[in-house]
Amino acid sequence: MDFDADDLVLFARIIEAGSFARAAQRCGLPRATVSRRIGALEARLGERLLVRTTRRLALTDFGERILEHARRLLEETEAAAALAQHRQATPQGRLRVSLPPGFLDELDLVPFLLRFAERHPDVRLELDISPRRVDVVAERFDLAIRVAAQLPDDATLVARRMIELEHGLYASPAYLARAGIPTRPAQLLDHVGLRLIASNGEAQPWRLARGGERWEGLPDGPLAANSVSLQCALALHGLGIAALSERFVAPMVAQGLLERVLPDWRLPTMTVWCVTAGRRLLPARSRVFIDMLQAALGQSRPQRE
């Protein structure tokens, strides 16, 4: 079957724009030319792609299937164009980023955003701060930050390691003086645990390891939350023992506000991942955000008052 691939790209641009008129304006073509080319494409394919009324466009079932291929072709076309100006491009445009709330405990977000806005004033940053795992491709996010030991395999995504986070158990000196210092994991069940709620709505058990030894459990406690910052604050006030990242609590340990519990035992290492759509060439706005984020995560956390 002989047809022009440019017409498939034009079809994808029409759906992206939402109308023939807007697509024609964006492509710098007369509206009649756009309509004629889509009509010719439908004739060559032998089926209608669109149902056109005076008010809206509607895809046919066949159009839905063709659109998937047309969008891929459009992405490749745009990627080729972006490649030509990849290093010269000034970061600009909308940048949609998904961040889990727990990640904010590892990054001083406000100073970071102020620096980013100062360096890249032409980037319109949109942050979605939510525990849900967004669909990067379907929801058109430029990138998503995820904190996990491992990520599920997904051929449509590219995951970059940003930093490894070591975790341990911590409590205030006042709590340990009152409740006693556990010397083996089983004794944790006699203590107050500050429990972290995972994205599935359940409290995460503590999985401790020392060499080849393993222990799993979770002490009872009066409070469970999906906020690491809240857990840390409660631990600082002597309410119980919390599982926290070594990087996050290092300033508080240095000031004597928190102490490591069972220092020979470790919780699973968590990785901060930066996830992007696999088929897309990263635009300049994404690259500079990732580079600045990597640099910020490599710095030590400031001392807390």
- Kindly give the confidence (pLDDT) of every residue in the chain, 305 residues in length, as a single tens digit, with 9 standing for 90 and above: 566 788 888 888 898 888 888 889 988 899 899 989 998 888 888 889 998 776 778 899 998 999 888 888 888 887 776 666 655 567 888 999 999 887 877 788 888 999 999 999 999 999 998 888 888 988 989 999 998 888 877 877 889 999 899 999 999 999 999 999 999 999 999 999 998 877 667 788 999 999 999 999 989 888 888 788 889 999 999 999 999 999 889 999 999 999 999 999 999 998 999 999 876 668 889 999 999 999 988 865 544 33
- Phi then psi dihedrals of residue 211, to 5 deg: 60, -125
Contact 162, 273 (CB under 8 A): yes
The yes/no answer on whether domain 5-84 falls in CATH 1.10.10.10 is yes
CATH code of the domain made up of 89-305: 3.40.190.290
The structure's pTM equals 0.64
Instruction: Please give the single-letter amino acid code of residue 209.
Output: A
Q: Where in the chain is the domain with CATH 3.40.190.290?
A: 89-305
Instruction: Please give the single-letter amino acid code of residue 185.
Output: P
How many Cα atoms are found within 13 Å in the side-chain-facing hemisphere of 179? 21
- Phi then psi dihedrals of residue 60, to 5 deg: -80, 170
Q: Where in the chain is the domain with CATH 1.10.10.10?
A: 5-84
Helix ranges restricted to H, the chain: 5-17, 20-27, 31-45, 61-84, 109-119, 173-179, 228-236, 246-254, 284-298
